[in-house]
Amino acid sequence: MLSFQELIESLGIYFVLYDRAGYGESDPNPRRTVKSEAFDIVELADQLQLGSKFYVIGVSIGSYPTWSCLKYIPHRLAGVALIVPTINYEWPSLPQSLIRTDYRRRLIQWSLWIAKHIPGLLYWWITQKDVPSTSVLERNPVYFSDRDIEVLKTTKGFPMLTQDKLQDRSVFYALRGDVVAAFGDWGFDPVRLSNPFPHNESSVHIWQGYEDKVVPFQLQRFISRKLSWIKYHEVRDGGHLILHYNGMCDYFLRALLVGEESILFRPKTA
């Protein structure tokens, strides 16, 4: 079997990590939406001459542009991977039996309302010195599994969420834009998407941690059952940070690029 590096070289694959609107040196776009993100990706791909088709990988909250690509530009996709994709609790097809008592739903609804209507108050609150730093949140078992916490001991965590960074209004408003776009009205329900690849010309994958405390695996299983054309993989001892686990990127990319599957990531039975 080819090593991961040999596989990438043999396929001629290279990676492009881009800054969405408001991040890094990308111009802010206060009007950005889920739909506009897909066409930003197309424009970038064309400017870089990536070809008629390309792969898209979305992680956590950064997965909402990936869903948008499946909706608006499937003809440009060679394959898609959604890694611990966040759930928008406003999707009409989500069953009340799974979301009615989910504390994450209430937290997101509150955060979205504040971000949309009184962002100045939110900015003032999170930049106060007596607000707990993200170093406290990163060690909190409410948000992260044991394996996630081990990862955070050796990584930089979430540098954009430090108080120093959040005091930069451009950083704050970029993050606010993510919250509004990711958890607001999408204009479509991903759970009702029809298969854009009926002839298996491209593949779509969802990767989820069974012990993820940010995104519940029950909802990802529901989505994958409704969208049977998506290949669902579940990391049994994985939390929300599976992207950072040793060797996992190899599995992600082998599944996406050459269709290699592993019995290690079949969903855990009830």
Main-chain dihedrals φ then ψ at residue 88, nearest 5 degrees? -90, 110
Cα–Cα dist 86/82, whole Å? 9
Cα–Cα dist 150/207, whole Å? 20
Q: For residues 60 and 93, is the Cβ–Cβ distance under 8 A?
A: no
Cα–Cα dist 207/80, whole Å? 11
Bridge partners (DSSP) of residue 228 are none
Range of the domain at 166: 1-270
The predicted pLDDT at position 26 comes to: 83
Give the largest CA-CA distance in the chain.
56
206-240 burial string, b = 16+ CB within 10 Å, else e? bbbbbbbbbbbbebbbbbbeebeebbbbbbeebbb
Bridge partners (DSSP) of residue 48 are none
Judge whether residue 140 has pLDDT over 60.
Answer: yes
* Helices marked H in 88-139: 96-99, 103-117, 119-126, 134-137
More confident residue, 174 or 95: 95
Residue 185's SS3 state is: coil
| Range 32-61 average pLDDT | 94
Cα–Cα dist 35/32, whole Å? 8
Provide the 10 A C-beta neighbour count for residue 83.
23
What are the pLDDT digits (tens) for 53-65?
999 999 999 999 9
What are the pLDDT digits (tens) for 75-129?
999 999 999 999 999 999 999 999 999 999 998 898 889 888 888 877 776 666 5
Give me the CATH number covering residue 14: 3.40.50.1820
| Range 65-80 average pLDDT | 97
Q: For residues 262 and 205, is the Cβ–Cβ distance under 8 A?
A: no
Which residue has 């009702």 as its token pair? 192
Cα–Cα dist 88/112, whole Å? 11
Q: For residues 66 and 74, is the Cβ–Cβ distance under 8 A?
A: no
| Range 23-47 average pLDDT | 89
Query: 7-11, 178-182, 231-235: which has the minimum mean pLDDT?
Result: 7-11
What are the pLDDT digits (tens) for 225-268?
999 999 999 999 999 999 999 989 999 999 999 998 888 898 87
Q: How many domains does the chain have?
A: 1
Q: What does pLDDT average to over the chain?
A: 87
Judge whether residue 139 has pLDDT over 60.
Answer: no
Q: For residues 50 and 30, is the Cβ–Cβ distance under 8 A?
A: no
| Range 145-173 average pLDDT | 73
